[in-house]
Amino acid sequence: MVLTVSPDFIATLNHWKKELQADFPMLSDFKRVVARQYGVLNEQTQMVNRTTFVIDMQGKVVNIIENRDAIDVTGALVACSRLKKG
């Protein structure tokens, strides 16, 4: 399963979902609760570091991709393909 969690408003996420023709859920973390729990929130600036987490079926984080690398989905796809083989 793929989903996006973003600090953006729901309306903004709905725009991007349509623009990108995304077929996965885009969830708003406007209050930054999830970002804080995953350690990607800069408390001082309230900015969220762009991060991709690959989580296995047992809920274990098996790969973390950060910053510019998180924009390109290739790393996440490779990590997911490893899960399917394992």
Helix (H) or strand (E) holding 6: strand 4-6
Weakest mean pLDDT among 6-10, 29-33, 60-64, 82-86: 82-86
pLDDT tens-digit map of 5-59: 999 999 999 999 999 888 889 999 999 999 999 999 999 999 999 999 999 889 9
Residues 6+ apart with CB under 8 A from 47: 41
Q: What is the pTM of this model?
A: 0.79
